Structure 1
Amino acid sequence: MSLIPRDSWSDFSRLFDNAFPSIRPRFESEFFSPRVDVVEKNNAFEIIADLPGVAKEDVTVTCHNGTLTIEAQTKKELDKKDGDQVIHRERYQGKMVRSFTLGDNIADQDIVAEFNDGELHVNIPKLESQPDEARKITIN
């Protein structure tokens, strides 16, 4: 009996590596999507994104037409000497974009973002909600 939980995505990844070894490196280099939590609080939404290895100046957060977009870029410099050869590479290098559609009840002019230790926190304040009341419509 194993006490280590199995990771089905890891198993799928290994299967993909074995079945399509020539495609795998190209597929990974073109796709990067960080892990993101979206939390609803009483007066705001909070998006928390893990961006390890990304510098603060390489992160951009924009809000346009009800869509919040997070862009990040990572650059890995490899200290490589003549004769060195990379045998295996897993660390992502490139650009990623992640977008979220915001509802009508947010104050987009008051959105605040903070970046510390590879973790981005975006606070999206809610507008004061008005109670939904049913309105009777007269039929002509």
Structure 2
Amino acid sequence: MGALTRLERFDELFPDFFRRFARPLALADEVPGDIKLDLIENDKDYLVRADVPGAKKEDIRVSVDRNFVSIAADVKREREERQGGRVLVKETYVGSASRGFSLAHEIDEKEVRATLEDGVLRLTLPKRDGAGGHSIAIE
């Protein structure tokens, strides 16, 4: 007899107990793990679109060190369900998300531009003149 069969039987003994906790929490699906991003390279710069829902601009930190970019955000989300005047469910998430990546070219840190709109961080990362990757001939 497998473990799944034993668990199904246990569930049958206490159906109301498990039904109460089986409801998926909507907030759990909305909490960030890693920051999801799109990266596009042009001749002169990189364009980054990073999803950081629930973060305010003062809670987002972007750092650039030569060709390494780091994005970190503190995120807070709350959801409350009311029925009449009573609170039935209140779910709160406080946490952080981060993402780091290396690029083929060094970035001109002084010319980086960042904007945040509707939970989307947009970065323009200009390539530093004369820096970046180059091909190595194999002997």
TM-score (norm 2): 0.58
Query: Structure 1 pair 108/83, CA: closer, same or farther in 2 (3 Å)?
Result: same
Match of 1:103 in 2: 104
Identical positions, percent:
25
Please give the per-residue CA displacement for 1:18-69, whole angstroms capped at 9, x wherever unaligned.
Answer: xxx9xxx9x9899612321000112100111012222111111012353211
Give the counterpart of 1:86 among 89, 92, 97.
89
Contact 1:32 1:92 survives alignment (8 Å): no
Taking the aligned partners of 2:36 and 2:135, their CA distance within structure 1 comes to 38
Contact 1:105 1:129 survives alignment (8 Å): no
Taking the aligned partners of 2:70 and 2:109, their CA distance within structure 1 comes to 12
Taking the aligned partners of 2:136 and 2:51, their CA distance within structure 1 comes to 42
Match of 2:55 in 1: 54
Which of these two proteins has the greater Rg computed from alpha carbons?
A: 2
Instruction: Give the total of aligned pairs.
Output: 111
The code of the aligned residue for 1:48 comes to: R
For structure 1, the 5+ residue unaligned runs are: 1-20
For structure 2, the 5+ residue unaligned runs are: 1-20
Cα RMSD for the two superposed structures: 3.8
Match of 1:74 in 2: 75
Q: Secondary structure at the match of 1:42?
A: coil
TM-score (norm 1): 0.58
Match of 2:8 in 1: none
More strand by share: 2
